[in-house]
Amino acid sequence: MQKRTLGTSNLEVSALGLGCMGLSHAYGPAKERQEAIALIRAAVERGVTFFDTAEIYGPFTNEDVVGEALAPFRDRVVIATKFGFDLPSPDGKQHLNSRPEHIRQVVEASLKRLRTDVIDLLYQHRVDPNVPIEDVAGTVKQLIQEGKVKHFGLSEAGAQTIRRAHAVQPVAALQSEYSLWWREPETAVFSTLEELGIGFVPFSPLGRGFLTGAIDKDTAFDSNDFRNTVPRFSQEARSANQILVDVLGELAASKQVTRAQIAIAWLLAQKPWIVPIPGTTKLHRLEENVGAVDVKLSPKDLLDINSAISKIAVQGARYPTEMQKNVGR
């Protein structure tokens, strides 16, 4: 497995990480615990050293599974987790909370669940408009000085918030959605990240599964699947967006790889400080994703992909209205 460094932070990780959310949260029933642990350990065996979780995934159960799975390999892996919500939510909605005292409480609880004495990368999950970002960054700075955290990250933050936070405590990485069907970060934050030496960690690099070709307009999701609430996954939008999957299929066939591998290889080719974290619950998908690291796209391949994709207008918002208001701040 190739390695990459997230910006100028000296945080070295595998070129591809594993997003662990889907093992416990958002995409239907949670994976049986021992199966989830086995999948995470299979990723370690295949060279993955970067694992992403959060207290809200479950809530709480995902951190616990990740902690147990990685305990035997703790000195070989980088664990990222997140704070930023009041949990458990009394009404099922996401209530932001990045007050300094709350951050400290979350970190202490996360350390226990993760079975570790230090969090490698601690993200603010969403920007809290009620707490100055300087106070958030200052709290994480203190936690770093205390040896409980190594690196500070932000998720779905806007350029000005990134700058303000970075001035207090250097930001090692920004995590946001980025893929062939959501390219806003290129214009919204890339120049800021490059200027400040901040790494970028794309989540949903396969469009929540859509770019793999395994989902079409007739796919029925589990009743608890988050995608049921996402406008981009309405039957009408899926039908309209199928053209993107078809284009990926043609490109994949020409190189004798899969759509997922093309989508991940494209991300890796954009910047050397990008480390995608595709998630999966299936071993064969994990192996497919890991294989993408070895897929080489030539400058002509990248031009052809950009040319084809630029002619496609993806239909549907990427979040329900209630969640959309918490991104890009």
Alpha-helical regions (H) of the chain: 33-45, 61-70, 100-113, 133-145, 159-168, 184-188, 190-196, 235-255, 259-270, 283-291, 299-310, 321-324
How many helices (DSSP H) and strands (DSSP E) are in the chain?
Answer: 12, 9
Which domains, and CATH codes, for the chain? Answer: 3-324 (3.20.20.100)
Query: Which pLDDT belongs to residue 92?
Result: 79
Query: Which pLDDT belongs to residue 35?
Result: 97
- Measured between alpha carbons, how far is 162 from 189 in angstroms, rounded to an integer? 9
Query: Which pLDDT belongs to residue 327?
Result: 82
Q: Is the pLDDT of residue 321 over 80?
A: no
User: In sequence order, what are the residues at sequence separation of 6 or more whose Cβ sits closer than 8 angstroms to the Cβ of residue 223?
Assistant: none
pLDDT (tens digit, 9 = 90+) per residue, 88-118?
Answer: 888 878 899 999 999 999 999 999 999 999 9
CB atoms within 10 A of CB 1: 14
Global confidence as pTM: 0.95
User: In sequence order, what are the residues at sequence separation of 6 or more whose Cβ sits closer than 8 angstroms to the Cβ of residue 53?
Assistant: 20, 21, 62, 63, 66, 79, 80, 81, 82, 114
Q: What angle do CA 62, 56, 163 make, to 5 degrees?
A: 115
pLDDT confidence band for 324 (50 / 70 / 90): confident
Query: Which pLDDT belongs to residue 129?
Result: 96
* Residue numbers annotated as active site: 57
Q: Is the pLDDT of residue 311 over 80?
A: yes
User: In sequence order, what are the residues at sequence separation of 6 or more whose Cβ sits closer than 8 angstroms to the Cβ of residue 140?
Assistant: 103, 122, 124, 149, 152, 169
Q: Is the pLDDT of residue 323 over 90?
A: no
Structure tokens at 111: 């350390």
Query: Which pLDDT belongs to residue 206?
Result: 96
pLDDT (tens digit, 9 = 90+) per residue, 18-76?
Answer: 999 999 988 888 999 999 999 999 999 999 999 999 999 999 999 999 999 999 999 99
Which whole-number Å values give the CA distances from 265 to 17, 97, 116, 297, in the listed order?
13, 36, 32, 7
